[in-house]
Chains A and B, each alone.
Chain A
Amino acid sequence: MRKGATWAGLALLLAVLAAAPLYVSPYVLGLLVGIAGYVTLATAWAMFSGPTRYVSLATVAFFGIGAYTVAVLSETLPYPLVLLVAALIGLAVALVVGLSTLRLAGVYFVIFTFGLAELVRQLVTWYEINVTGTLGRYIFLPLGPEHIYWQLLALAAFTLSLSWWVSRSRIGLALKVIGDDEVVAAHSGINLTRTKLMLFAASSVIITLVGAIQAPRWTYVEPAIVFNPTLSFLTLIMALLGGATRLWGPALGAIPLFLLFEWLAANFPNHYSILLGLLFILIVFVLPNGVLAFAEKLWGGNAGKVAAATRGTPPS
């Protein structure tokens, strides 16, 4: 009964959001594009990194690959095919990167993925200069902000559903065991390699698609723009702030943070950095368990206590 209501509510929410371009101003639509993008990025990121605790900074590598694929192919292939090719390239790279998780863990994995993103950027730059003889490509696709928004919204809904399905399936359980203790996981008959690889690939392909979908918005694409490492950090920060181990955590980290950035940048363009930094430190101190946990506590009742209890993962 309650379940049905939840489903109906979610479907209604999706419908309301999908109709947004019909009733909001272009600026709000722009905001929604940004929010949908980051919600998808953070949720996809957390799908792998949350339960396994492999913190990845390779986000922008996949995002950039997606954007660049569109820039390279937008004139030669029909758009849906371009997206497909982008996803396939993302998948191939993800499988190679995913293999590194067999050897690396902790902070070594974090910085490994960062180095990897930079390597991809350097190689793309080098290739463009030496093989194509130019840097910077133009994307002239007839896509307005509403088209980009709808695509991102669909992808966000898909990502959340996938994340929900994973958390309920055997894979999700396996991942949690991996995050808690890899040795135990291996002993309990979990195929570590396959499980980790599958999830990392799924997460990376989604991130690649976000890049591919957003790229037509900028007209001009060059490595410095699409491989901007800030994106990896923002995604990570949003997911961690919201709570990376829960379905709605990353989304609830992404939305308020995104709006906060926007509000600060618009109202205090000259003191943006200082205020943002101070707010950030404040948030870390007053919301020790992430936004979602805070919200649950605030709304009180048993839901919060149950969530807090199930949250208590044993220390690694």
Chain B
Amino acid sequence: MLATALITGLVLGGTYALVAMGLTLQYGISRIMNLAYGETVIAASFGAYLLNNAIGINPLLGLALIVPLGFVFGYLVYGLMLRPLVARSRDAASLEINSILATFGLLFVIQGVMLVAFGTNFTSYSYMNFGVNVLGANIAANRLLAFVLAVAIGGGLYLLLTRTRWGTALRAVAVSPSSAALVGIDADRAARFAFALGSALAAAGGVIVSMYQTFTATSGVIFTMKALIVVIMGGVGNLLGALSAGLILGLVETFVATYLDPGLTLAATYLIFLAILLWRPAGLFGRAR
């Protein structure tokens, strides 16, 4: 019972972390508070659904197509819409306000396009929906995949960011774009790249999520909000933070549902989130700014 709850909770947490990682990159490195993040996730979900149901390309192969598309999309959005705002903003606070307003608009545009294209229907299909035995617990294969991907992406990107020159450059931009430029780093390119990478991760999350979760054209906001909670709880820009925060939320949800009352799961996750913030005001892994 305990082992089952533990493993189910970790896997659920992995699915939360997976969807949050792109956002932590976008906000942490490119300094864009992207309210349209969840819409990118949902758009990828629709893409996976279309490929699977209309052309018969399974979502795993679909990843190879949709993730690069996500990257290109992020690259274009940053280049066309956000770069002018970054250039215009006097300081971090005004960039924050500008990016909130602009991506709020983008949210509606993407959502509107999806509404026109797909209508408001609940969309769902089934892929890799079979049980896998993990240490005695029966876990859905598609969720397990999400967990594995979350850990692999989280760990892999963390190593890249901390152990490579390229990663150091990105982190330098995260800390101070203007000083990064002084030491010969192209801050604009780095920010654009990080934003595009974040979009690619959002797309990957969307494809995986679509395998087990029903979605509609208007459910992107839910993903943005969950991702924001995870990102803030982990500490902005910190991939390991996002991973741990996701896992904690998953564990809390499963344990409360198993041992206390399923009616209190969300209340408990928000309570833990608030408590952690009060205890560590810049998130689990964040440094006070």
Contacts and interface: CB of A to CB of B under 8 A. Distances in A.
A and B touch in the complex (CB under 8 A): yes
Given A114-B225, A240-B101, A288-B88, A273 B33 contact: no
Contacts of B277: 100, 103-104, 108, 111-112, 115
B116 A270 contact: yes
Contact of A126 (B101, B108, B229, B263): B263
Given A126-B263, A129-B263, A274-B112, A115 B274 contact: yes
A184 interface: no
A284 B99 CA distance: 9
A160 to B, nearest CB: 22
B90 interface: yes
Interface residues of A, number: 46
B186 interface: no
Sort chain B's interface into a size bin: 35 or more
Given A114-B228, A119-B274, A126-B267, A278 B88 contact: no
Contact of B108 (A105, A111, A273): A273
B160 to A, nearest CB: 24
Interface string A262-297: 000000001111111111111111001000000000
B277 to A, nearest CB: 5
Given A123-B267, A281-B109, A107 B278 contact: no
Given A104-B281, A107-B236, A115-B274, A278 B267 contact: no
A49 to B, nearest CB: 11
Contacts of A112: 232, 274, 277
B266 A107 contact: no
A41 interface: no
B214 to A, nearest CB: 18
Contact of A107 (B33, B101, B107, B271): B33
Nearest to B109: A277
A116 interface: yes
Contacts of A116: 270, 274
Interface string B258-275: 000001101100110110
A270 B120 CA distance: 11
- The secondary-structure label for the interface of chain A is helix
Contact of B102 (A53, A272, A276, A281): A281
B1 interface: no
A237 B101 contact: yes
B185 interface: no
Contacts of A125: 263
Contacts of B101: 237, 240-241, 280, 283-284
B127 interface: no
B69 interface: no
A106 B289 contact: yes
Most chain A beta carbons < 10 A, residue from B110, B113, B116, B277: B277
Contacts of A123: 267
B188 interface: no
A122 B105 contact: no
Contacts of B271: 119
B270 A277 contact: no
A285 B84 contact: yes
B116 A271 contact: yes
A302 interface: no
A80 interface: no
Contacts of B278: 100, 103-104
A182 interface: no
A315 B271 CA distance: 34
B81 interface: yes
A274 B105 contact: no
A276 B283 CA distance: 34
A273 B111 contact: yes
A7 B278 CA distance: 45
Contacts of B105: 276-284
The 3 A-B pairs of least Cβ separation, nearest first, read A273-B112, A280-B105, A277-B108
Interface of B: 27, 33, 81, 84-85, 88, 90-93, 96-98, 100-102, 104-113, 115-116, 221, 225, 228-229, 232, 236, 263-264, 266-267, 270-271, 273-274, 277-278, 281-283, 286, 289
Interface of A: 53, 100, 103-108, 111-112, 114-116, 118-119, 122-123, 125-126, 129-130, 229, 233, 236-237, 240-241, 270-285, 288, 315-316
15 contacts: A108-B232, A108-B283, A112-B277, A114-B228, A115-B270, A129-B263, A229-B221, A233-B104, A240-B97, A273-B111, A274-B108, A277-B105, A278-B109, A281-B109, A285-B102
Given A118-B270, A284-B102, A315-B90, 6 more contacts: A104-B281, A277-B106, A280-B104, A283-B101, A288-B88, A288-B98
